[in-house]
Amino acid sequence: MDWFNTIDFNGIFMTFGIIILQLLGIIIVYMIVKKLGSRLITRSFTKLSEQRGMHSGRTKTLEKLTINVFTYFLIFILITIIVGIFDYEIAPLIAGAGIIGLAIGFGAQGLVSDVVTGFFILLEKQIEVDDYVTMAGVDGVVEEVGLRSTKLRGFDGTLHFIPNREITNVSNHSRGNMRALVDISIAYDENIDEVMAVLQNACDEVAQIEEAIKEGPNVIGVQSLGDSDVVIRIIAKTENMSQWAVERTLRKALKETLDQHGIEIPFPHQVYIEKNRGCP
- Domain positions in the chain are 7-107, 112-172, 178-260
Per CATH, 7-107 and 112-172 having the same topology is answered: no
State how far the Cα of 84 lies from the Cα of 90, in Å rounded to an integer: 7
- The architecture (CATH level 2) of 178-260 comes to 2-Layer Sandwich (3.30)
Phi (first) and psi of residue 178, to 5 degrees: -95, 165
State how far the Cα of 261 lies from the Cα of 241, in Å rounded to an integer: 32
What CATH number belongs to 7-107? Answer: 1.10.287.1260
Distant-in-sequence, close-in-space partners of 35: CB < 8 Å, separation ≥ 6:
none
State how far the Cα of 68 lies from the Cα of 206, in Å rounded to an integer: 44
What CATH number belongs to 112-172? Answer: 2.30.30.60
Per-residue confidence in pLDDT tens, the chain, 280 aa: 454 455 555 555 666 666 677 778 778 887 888 888 878 877 777 776 666 555 566 666 667 777 777 777 787 777 777 776 666 555 555 555 555 554 445 445 566 676 677 777 777 777 888 888 888 888 888 888 877 788 889 888 889 988 888 888 888 887 777 888 999 888 888 888 888 999 999 999 888 888 888 888 999 988 888 888 888 899 999 888 888 888 999 999 999 998 888 888 887 655 555 555 554 5
State how far the Cα of 280 lies from the Cα of 264, in Å rounded to an integer: 40
E strands present in 17-126: none
Burial of 105 (0-12, 13-18, 19+ CB in 10 A): exposed
* 3-state DSSP assignment of residue 78: helix
